Amino acid sequence: MRLKNKTMAVWLALVGGALGLHRFYLRGLGDWIGWLHPVPTALGLYGIERVRALGQDDQLSWVLIPLLGVSIAAACLTGIVYALADEAKWNRWFNSPEASATAAGRTNWLTIVALVMLLLVGTIAFMGSLAFGIQRYFEYQVEEARKISQ
C-alpha cells in the first residue's frame, strides 16, 4: 500500500479540490463523493456563462454562481482539516497502522503555505458567493416591489 502524503493532499485540495482531486488521491477513483464534486462546480461555471451571455438579470445564474463558490469553499475547508491534522491522526485516517511514524503525515512549510492559501481562497470564495447571492436576491425583491407599486 502506498502512503498518502498530507502535503500532497492539502495542495490538491487547494488546486483541484472543486473537482475532487484530493478525494481521488486519498480514496481512489471509486470514491463516489469525489465524483460529486465536479457537479456544483460545473453548474457554477454554467451560471457564469449565462451571466456573460444573458446579462446580470438572469435569475438562474443567481442560483448557479454561488454553487461554484460553495464548492470551492468546501474543498478549502477539507484541505484545512487535512492540514491541521496531526501526524498520528493523518496516518490513522489514510495510511496503515504500522505507518504511524512515517514522514507521510508530517506537516512541513509547504503544508503551512497551502494552509494559508486555503484560508484565503476559501474565505474569498464563500464570502463572494454569499454576497453575490444575497445582493441579487434583494435587488430582485426591490424590482418586484416597484412593479407592484406602479
41-61 burial: b if 16+ Cβ within 10 Å, else e: bbbbbebeebbeeeeeebeeb
Residue 1 has pLDDT above 70, yes or no: no
Q: Cell triple for residue 70?
A: 460553495
Determine the Cα–Cα distance for residues 126 and 29; give it in Å rounded to an integer: 27
Residue 104 has pLDDT above 80, yes or no: no
- pLDDT tens by residue, 50-62: 989 998 778 888 8
- pLDDT tens by residue, 66-96: 999 999 999 999 999 999 998 888 888 888 7
Residue 101 has pLDDT above 70, yes or no: no
Q: Which stretches does DSSP call E strand in the chain?
A: none
Q: Cell triple for residue 134?
A: 444575497
pLDDT on residue 45:
94
Q: Cell triple for residue 111?
A: 503544508
Boundaries of every domain in the chain: 6-149
Q: What is the pTM of this model?
A: 0.85
